[in-house]
């Protein structure tokens, strides 16, 4: 799977928007961009995914660069419950991929009250 690069950590204030960046310069045309998060002492949790167009759901928005070499997960109003490690993961439907997720170190988001 193609590699992603994320900052090790970020801080945000409660009630403010948060933009979590991810670089994936070697992304291929068939790679989906997935975001998961892991709250303390819990399993990973699916957040959002996209292929080419920007995506919105009840949890977050995903902005994908036109060349697809980077993306940004946007939390519109951070809450204390959003403090977690956020993982940007590329998944390919090409080449016999069996669907397993390859996690990196992610970005640890801290939210200050």
Partner 1 sequence: EPEVTQTPSHQVTQMGQEVILRCVPISNHLYFYWYRQILGQKVEFLVSFYNNEISEKSEIFDDQFSVERPDGSNFTLKIRSTKLEDSAMYFCASSEARHDSQPQHFGDGTRLSIL
59, 47 contact by CB (below 8 A): yes
Stretch that binds partner 1, among 4-12, 21-29, 64-72, 103-111 (CB under 8 A): 103-111
Nearer to partner 1 by Cβ, of 42 and 113: the residue is: 42
Q: What residue has token string 């994320």?
A: 6
Q: Least distance to partner 1 from the beta carbon of 63, Å?
A: 18
Work out which of 59, 61, 74, 104 binds partner 1, going by CB under 8 A: 104
Q: How far, in Å, are 40, 41, 53, 59, 85 from residue 45 at the CA level? A: 11, 12, 22, 11, 10
Nearer to partner 1 by Cβ, of 67 and 100: the residue is: 100
- Calpha distance 64→15 (Å, rounded): 24
Where on the chain is the footprint of partner 1 (CB under 8 A)?
Answer: 31-32, 34, 38, 41-46, 49, 51, 87, 91-93, 97-105
């Amino acid at each position: 799977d193609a590699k992603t690069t994320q900052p090790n950590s970020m801080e945000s204030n409660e009630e403010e928007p948060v933009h979590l960046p991810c670089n994936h310069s070697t992304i291929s045309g068939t790679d989906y961009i997935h975001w998961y998060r892991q709250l303390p002492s819990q399993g990973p949790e699916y957040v959002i995914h996209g292929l080419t167009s920007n995506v919105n759901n009840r949890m977050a928005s995903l902005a994908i660069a036109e060349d697809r070499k980077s993306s940004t997960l946007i939390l519109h109003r951070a809450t204390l419950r959003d403090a977690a490690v956020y993982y940007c993961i590329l998944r390919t439907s090409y080449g016999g991929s069996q669907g397993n997720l390859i996690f990196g170190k992610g970005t640890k988001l801290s939210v200050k009250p």
